[in-house]
Amino acid sequence: MKRKYFLILTLIITSIYGIWVYNHKAASPFQTKLSREEKIKVSILLQNMKTRCVGRYLVDFPEAYMPSEKSIITVNDSEITTKRMYAPAFEQSIHLRERELVSKKTISSIDMPYLKNIYKLPDGLNGVIFERVEQETYDDVFRVLEAHLYSNGVAIKIELAAKNGLDKRYDDYRKSSPKNYENNVPNKLAELNDLLVRIQGRAEDEIPMKPGNCIQNAFILDNNKDRESIDMLYESNNTSQLRFGISTNNFIQEKDSLLERSGGIVSNLLSVNGSLLRQGVRNINGLFTEELLAKGKYSEKNDNDRYDFIMLTNEKTGSYKTPVFSLELLNEEWIPSPYNQDEIVSFWDAISQTLRVRPGAF
């Protein structure tokens, strides 16, 4: 009896899942019907594909697509920015930054000096760490450890918030709120140094083979516990007016997935005369992904078509071994793309199907 009940329940669940998959089934990549001329245009746009490493993943873009300087990268509580630079220019930038911090003044003279300390980097590393007040208007209990590292032709800047509330004028505050007026600079300095010894500059097309996290212009060796978050924008110097946004993190889990909340998205689209081109699930190189392709108008004053395509994986199961990954295609608002809808969808399919986990990433 129990076995019969189990079989019936299994058939019901299977049927429901089958109906859901059917209703959310995405069109297969490369099924967009293109004319011969359209195929030529798309193939030119896809020339010279290069593999890019973002977080723990790989994705292929045309060579013309490079990350912009608008990237937002955080590891644990550290904010990281990178820039390719010659060594003499890096050295000069360090000297200029030190002079700037020395001359900077806080609003209240009691919080001076603005630059509190200068630390050397761990042995073998080229750069410096400045300990400074967070902002001119803040009490000097609020500090920032500002590290500058030069590695493999890349200037890497890391900022980490810290606190030092040991000054006598904070004694009464410390009694009532000891956590807010502690001195965690030594611990934060150790945390920062641990990150500095694991980060190294790299070329954009250099694909690491060791466990770790790819960020713009650099690679961070694994320590099996970093909280990683990356937001990047890939833009090109071609005339497509198309760009890609990439986001990945290994610690956020959403309660509902893209398709589970798509009802609200579709309602909003229809309310502004937009349309849903495609939505559904795709298995891309072993990754269960959900995608939604939408089209609309930017505004009443701007009649240009607005394309917004998005694909997500691991959205509800984000973790160290299964990082969330989001790929989004957007077009320029004021300059129309020379590519039509079918061409843009075909371009999206060609790029999105290259997503895969980097070998050796974990």
Tens place of pLDDT per residue across the chain (362 aa): 433 333 333 333 333 333 333 344 444 444 678 999 999 999 999 999 999 999 999 999 999 999 998 889 999 999 999 999 999 999 999 999 999 999 999 999 999 999 999 999 999 999 999 999 999 999 999 999 999 999 999 999 999 999 999 999 999 999 999 999 999 999 999 999 999 999 999 999 999 999 999 999 999 999 999 999 999 999 998 899 999 999 999 999 999 999 999 877 766 665 566 788 999 999 999 999 999 999 988 776 777 888 999 999 999 999 999 999 999 999 988 888 999 999 999 999 999 999 999 999 99
Instruction: Write down the pLDDT at residue 269.
Output: 66
pLDDT for 226 equals 96
The answer to whether the beta carbons of residues 182 and 143 sit under 8 Å apart is: no
pLDDT given at position 235: 95
Helices (H), 114-238: 171-176, 185-196
This prediction has a pTM of: 0.87
Backbone angles phi, psi at 239, to 5 degrees: -100, 15
Q: Where are the beta strands (DSSP E) in the chain?
A: 49-54, 57-62, 65-67, 72-75, 78-84, 115-120, 126-133, 142-151, 154-163, 199-201, 212-215, 218-221, 228-236, 242-249, 275-284, 287-297, 305-313, 324-331, 356-357
Go through the domains of the chain in sequence order and give each one's CATH number. Answer: 28-74+227-357 (3.40.1000.10), 78-200 (3.40.1000)
User: Which residues, 6 or more positions from 165, have their beta carbon under 8 angstroms from its beta carbon?
Assistant: 141, 173, 174, 180, 181, 182, 183
